[in-house]
Amino acid sequence: MERFLSKRIIFLALTIILFLTAWNRGIPLLYLMFSLLLATLLLGHLLPQMVLGRIDVERLAPKVAVAGDVVRLSFFLRNRGFFPRFMVEVIDTFPCGEYGKTEPMLFVSSLSPRSEVNRELHIPCAVRGEYMLGPLQVASAFPLGLARRQKTIAGHSPRILVYPATFPIPDIPIKPMSAKHREAGESLSIAGGSEEFFGIREYRDGDSIRMVHWPSSARRNQLLVKEMEVRVSAQVTLLLDLNTLAHAGKGSAHSLEYVIKIAASICLHTLERHHQVQLMSYGERLHLSPCRSGKEHLQELMTMLAKVKIGQMPFLQLIQRADAVMQDGQSVILVCSGRSLDSLQMRQALALLQAKRMQSIVVMVETDGFGGSDYSNLQTVLTSSTTRFYRMGKDDSFTTLFAINGMK
């Protein structure tokens, strides 16, 4: 009904009625009123197109962001014409925004000739992923809103990578690999070890000349060497379930997004403690990272987690494939949902990990609150094993997940 009662239709109907009345009555004043209405109608359709002529728009947006952050978009509107422009709208597409806020708009009431104005929009970034912004459009309905014209600005569709949000983890009981589980001749640095300065002692036969502390040796007039304390860290493999049948929910309130956020937080926590981390998942394709440590590896993992998409591979099949890339004695963390494995499959998965003498940790997102249904008896299977088990519900706090949870 609104389509038939728009301003344009009503104005056109009044113009036609006035013309017919003037033609029937032959009154000059009615002809004059008809001419004014017709001219207004024509100008209402032509002026919006003229307003958009010689207007340029440029958008500046960050290349990366973090889910939950507020992203600042800067717009520069330039009027290259010799006449002012009025009632200009700028419409953008921001697909990673919150529901109902994916098409932000700003309004410029007037733009002077040969001038430029700057406007900013601050939009919450809701969901991690890789997105293409735009298309960027300008529109106008000047002067009476009888007609609205719109044009697309070419070449304004940059990509933005949204990393998953993280939360602080107080502690995860990860055990370092024992020496017997390392391959013969493998150095501590390869196994995830690191050295820290412990003190200075006198030089002994067989000490490396590279360990001599020359400033102290000069002061005491004898050779002194640095003594280092070796800190052995762990190798950790994260396995994520991206199977579409195991998840439920919509947008940011999706069990998969909870799994990704937990995995990102575990990566940050373990790498900050100098462990080596390997990540494996299978969504639309296989995602497998090398087992490394350091800030560069953290960025690689966050990029991988930002881009992963839901897939079809069952979680048990992923665990079986991961057996070939995991070493005996390392730690493995399964981040999954309550529908990833039934009780029998969970027993099979834990038996497979136990056969390789792995320390297994299960972090499970319950899908009941997302509109799904979890398998029964899973908690009984996990609590009866040596596996450390953490549960996460839709309304639970992330910050308390590892603080008050964790049943053996």
Among 271, 319, 260, 316, smallest CA distance to 295 is for 271
What are the strands, taking DSSP E only, across 303-387? 331-337, 359-365
Query: CA-to-CA distance for 74 and 64, rounded, in angstroms?
Result: 15
Query: CA-to-CA distance for 237 and 289, rounded, in angstroms?
Result: 10
At position 355, the amino acid (one-letter code) is: A
What is the pLDDT at residue 157? Answer: 83
The fold for domain 56-163 equals Immunoglobulin-like (2.60.40)
Query: CA-to-CA distance for 94 and 62, rounded, in angstroms?
Result: 12
CATH superfamily of 235-400: von Willebrand factor, type A domain (3.40.50.410)
What is the pLDDT at residue 196? Answer: 53
Tokens 């998953």 belong to 164
What is the pLDDT at residue 177? Answer: 57
Among 277, 199, 288, smallest CA distance to 233 is for 277
At position 349, the amino acid (one-letter code) is: A
Non-local (6+) Cβ contacts of 85 within 8 A are 51, 55, 79, 110, 111, 140, 142
What is the pLDDT at residue 1? Answer: 40
What is the pLDDT at residue 108? Answer: 92
What is the CA 275 to chain-centroid distance, rounded? Answer: 24
Q: Give the Cβ contact number of residue 63 at 10 Å.
A: 8
What are the b/e assignments for 282-298, b being 16+ CB within 10 Å? bbeeebebebbbeeebb
DSSP string across 45-77: HHHHHHHHTTEEEEEE--SEEETTSEEEEEEEE
Give bridge partners of residue 26 from the DSSP assignment: none
Instruction: Say what the pTM is.
Output: 0.78
What is the pLDDT at residue 5? Answer: 53
Q: What is the DSSP letter of 370?
A: G
User: 90 phi and psi, to 5 degrees?
Assistant: -115, 120
Query: CA-to-CA distance for 55 and 152, rounded, in angstroms?
Result: 11
Non-local (6+) Cβ contacts of 202 within 8 A are 222, 223, 224, 225
DSSP string across 196-264: EEEEEEE--TT--GGGB-HHHHHHHTS-EEEEEEEE---EEEEEE--BGGG--EETTEEHHHHHHHHHH
Residues of the chain with CATH 3.40.50.410: 235-400
Give bridge partners of residue 44 from the DSSP assignment: none
User: Which mean pLDDT values do the consecutive 10-residue runs of the chain (408 residues) have?
Assistant: 60 80 82 82 85 90 93 93 92 87 90 93 92 92 85 86 94 67 37 56 81 85 74 82 92 92 96 93 93 93 95 94 88 93 90 89 90 78 82 90 66
Which is it for strands 85-91 and 224-231: parallel, antiparallel or unpaired? unpaired
What is the pLDDT at residue 406? Answer: 56
What is the pLDDT at residue 230? Answer: 47
Query: CA-to-CA distance for 408 and 406, rounded, in angstroms?
Result: 7
Tell me how far apart the terminal alpha carbons of the chain are, to the nearest angstrom: 64
